[in-house]
Amino acid sequence: MEKIASCICFGFFAAFALCCNAGEIDSTPGASRVAFTGFAPVAPHPRLFADDAEFAAAKARISSCEEGRAALAVLMRTADAALSEKPLERKMIGRRLLRVSRSALERIGCLAFAWRYTGDLRYAERAAGEARAVCAFSDWNPGHFLDVGEMTLAAALARDWLDGFLPDDDKRAISSAILRKGLTAGDGRTLPDGWWVKCGNNWNQVCNGGLSAGAAAVRDEFPEIAQAILLRARNALPFALKAYAGGNFPEGPGYWEYATDYTAIALDVMERQFADGAPELFASDGLADQVDYIDCMTGPTGFLFNYSDPFANPFTRRLPIASCWYLARRFGRYGALEAHERPLVRAGFGAGRMLPFLLLWLSEPSSGSSADSPLCRVLGGENPAVVDLTPLYPDAKKVVRKFVLDADGLKVEDRVHGLRPGTVVTWNMNTPARAIASGGRLVLETEDPHGALRRMELAAGPAGVAWECESIAEPRTVADSPNPGMTRVRLRSTAGADGAVEFSVSFRLIDGSGYCRESNWKSWIWK
């Protein structure tokens, strides 16, 4: 079966994609529960993501390879900058505390890691000060529980990685905050509950992953609550891991990074805290192939295909992703780091608040290793597709699509075949431009930075195919944010008896092409 989609991005629109009978990820209750086999013994601190021996091994790996030295330099710059920063304050942005939670995670993680790597007490004291500040907040904003998930992880790193430095009063204060502001609904007894517990999107991994880390950090102090959190997370994570089925992911590469970084965090905790290592989580369909998924979403110039995504800028470049290093180590896929991750890290790009985890999961280059992520890959799951990047690489032999680009426009032709007769194929595009549709003709209008009107015509074929327009400005679910001014335009066609569908879309600038010529075109081929 062959399915085709393409992406061409510039000032008029963010992304477009093709999907076949896409549906929502199933997040309804009813997944099989895990047969409980017991918890692993409580290990001494540090026990989150690395023990003393693993920290020592990580230090040796970091110093022995170019990637490690480059990533460490980025982390140390972050830690050094944090030394002079004032402690964070509880400042909401709208209904969110998320920016503060993420800043706390970055500061505490980088400072605590810097102390464990160098032994310099300045870093430990500053990390402890940040932890004292956030643990003194009135709450971590449980009304938007992502904020709690990330802040609980930050506090857990402080409690665990700084254990050898913290005075007893600080240990008690941080542990109490983890219990009352993270693991329970403020009373030290009642587990926080919400739609996110068993949902099928990134909220599941972030909230359950962050709380699991907090539970592991204080399991010896509050065993009943901690074990209840860990067991609930183990039973809930499969609802989100379904999204990886077939090596695919429905939320796009930006949310993929967010979800998968916290998937790695949750899996690392689960494997260490349960006596059997939670093997059913690692056997989730498509999980081992996720390092290939993100490579499929990355063009040869480093731009990401931003479908279904939070990117305001359509020209978003890939940066290092900590979970890629975790997946490569856990599933023995070291070659999958060669195409993008190793070059990005060597070039001095960081991974933000996830950089300490990347350094712990770092692997040295294998002798003679080469990229093993396929350029052409079948992605299954809820939004099946076949992604083929081979025509974009200079040494590729296979040509699967033809682009014709000249000064006035671009024509894209797609043929989808091998479908079941009656299959509905949809070609989608989300755009901030004003969209005016008339049959097979669509006009997009927007203003350039100087206020001049720019108009583009998209002519669709074959005859009988008509553009549809739908506002997506309002949130569809409680997890969504508004998308003011955004419109989804689409074409639909139904496969005939021969199982084939054809689309053709021609792009033409109506009012001249000077301004658009100055923009950067971004194109991928998806087959």
CA dihedral 75, 147, 213, 36 (to 10 degrees): -150
Q: Does residue 59 lie in a domain region? A: yes
Q: What does the pLDDT read at residue 275? A: 96
* Three-class SS state of 334: helix
191 confidence band (pLDDT: 50, 70, 90): very high
**Domain stops at, among 294, 328, 361:** 361
Burial bucket for residue 61 (CB in 10 Å: 0-12, 13-18, 19+): middle
- Do 337 and 404 belong to one domain? no
Inform me whether the pLDDT recorded for 303 exceeds 70: yes
- Do 485 and 355 belong to one domain? no
Cα 458 to Cα 231: distance, rounded to the nearest angstrom:
52
369 confidence band (pLDDT: 50, 70, 90): low
- Do 99 and 15 belong to one domain? no
Q: What does the pLDDT read at residue 8? A: 30
380 confidence band (pLDDT: 50, 70, 90): low
504 confidence band (pLDDT: 50, 70, 90): confident
pLDDT in tens, 192-247: 989 999 999 999 999 999 999 999 999 999 999 999 999 999 999 999 999 999 88
Least confident of 99-113, 185-199, 441-455: 441-455
Q: What does the pLDDT read at residue 527? A: 24
Least confident of 16-20, 103-107, 388-392: 16-20
pLDDT in tens, 262-302: 999 999 999 999 999 999 999 999 999 999 899 888 877 78
Q: Residue 141: give its domain's CATH number.
A: 1.50.10.100
- Do 390 and 353 belong to one domain? no
- Do 343 and 400 belong to one domain? no
Q: What does the pLDDT read at residue 147? A: 98
SS3 track for 348-411? CCCCHHHHHHHHHHCCCCCCCCCCCCCCEEEECCCCCEEEECHHHCCCCCCCCCCCEECCCEEE
Q: What does the pLDDT read at residue 226? A: 97
**Domain stops at, among 361, 393, 414:** 361
Cα 152 to Cα 97: distance, rounded to the nearest angstrom:
13
Inform me whether the pLDDT recorded for 509 exceeds 70: yes
CA atoms within 13 A of residue 47's CA, in its CB half-sphere: 20
Inform me whether the pLDDT recorded for 483 exceeds 80: yes
503 confidence band (pLDDT: 50, 70, 90): confident
- Do 206 and 70 belong to one domain? yes
Least confident of 108-112, 442-446, 503-507: 503-507
Provide the domain limits for residue 323: 52-361
Q: Does residue 251 lie in a domain region? A: yes
- Do 116 and 263 belong to one domain? yes
Number of domains present in the structure of the chain: 2
416 strand-pairing partners: 501
Q: Does residue 375 lie in a domain region? A: no
Residue 418: name the closest of 99, 4, 53, 24 by CA: 4
501 strand-pairing partners: 416
Q: What does the pLDDT read at residue 466? A: 92
Residues 169, 171, 174, 180, CA torsion sign: negative
Q: How far is residue 195 from each of residues 23, 223, 478, measured CA to CA in Å?
A: 19, 25, 9
426 confidence band (pLDDT: 50, 70, 90): confident
Q: Does residue 47 lie in a domain region? A: no
Inform me whether the pLDDT recorded for 19 exceeds 50: no
Inform me whether the pLDDT recorded for 524 exceeds 80: no
Rounded to 5°, angle at Cα 26 from 22 and 31:
150
Residues 316, 372, 289, 206, CA torsion sign: negative
- Do 208 and 304 belong to one domain? yes
- Do 442 and 472 belong to one domain? yes
Sequence-separated (6 or more) residues with CB below 8 Å from residue 241: 263, 281, 284, 287
Cα 456 to Cα 386: distance, rounded to the nearest angstrom:
29
Q: What does the pLDDT read at residue 239? A: 97
Q: What does the pLDDT read at residue 136? A: 98
Q: Does residue 37 lie in a domain region? A: no
Inform me whether the pLDDT recorded for 342 exceeds 90: yes
Q: What does the pLDDT read at residue 407? A: 29
Whether 275 and 37 have beta carbons less than 8 Å apart is answered as yes
pTM, full prediction: 0.75
Inform me whether the pLDDT recorded for 178 exceeds 80: yes
Where are the alpha helices (H) located in 218-335, listed in sequence order?
223-241, 252-273, 279-282, 290-296, 322-330
Q: Please give the average per-residue pLDDT across 492-520, as a whole number.
A: 66
Query: What's the whole-number average pLDDT of the chain?
Result: 82
Cα 42 to Cα 434: distance, rounded to the nearest angstrom:
58
Cα 101 to Cα 104: distance, rounded to the nearest angstrom:
5
Q: Which of 36-45, 242-251, 318-327, 457-466 has the highest mean pLDDT?
A: 318-327
Q: What does the pLDDT read at residue 15? A: 32
Q: What does the pLDDT read at residue 428? A: 77
Least confident of 6-10, 307-311, 374-378: 6-10
Q: What does the pLDDT read at residue 309? A: 66
Q: Does residue 187 lie in a domain region? A: yes
Q: Please give the average per-residue pLDDT across 412-419, as a whole number.
A: 62
Q: Does residue 260 lie in a domain region? A: yes
Q: Please give the average per-residue pLDDT across 302-327, as a whole number.
A: 82
Least confident of 112-126, 141-155, 202-216, 439-453: 439-453
Where are the alpha helices (H) located in 90-144, listed in sequence order?
98-118, 121-135
**Domain stops at, among 313, 329, 361:** 361
- Do 441 and 481 belong to one domain? yes
* Three-class SS state of 303: strand
CA dihedral 344, 346, 348, 353 (to 10 degrees): 70
- Do 66 and 143 belong to one domain? yes
Cα 422 to Cα 401: distance, rounded to the nearest angstrom:
25
Q: Does residue 58 lie in a domain region? A: yes
- Do 125 and 162 belong to one domain? yes
Q: Please give the average per-residue pLDDT across 385-408, as a whole number.
A: 38
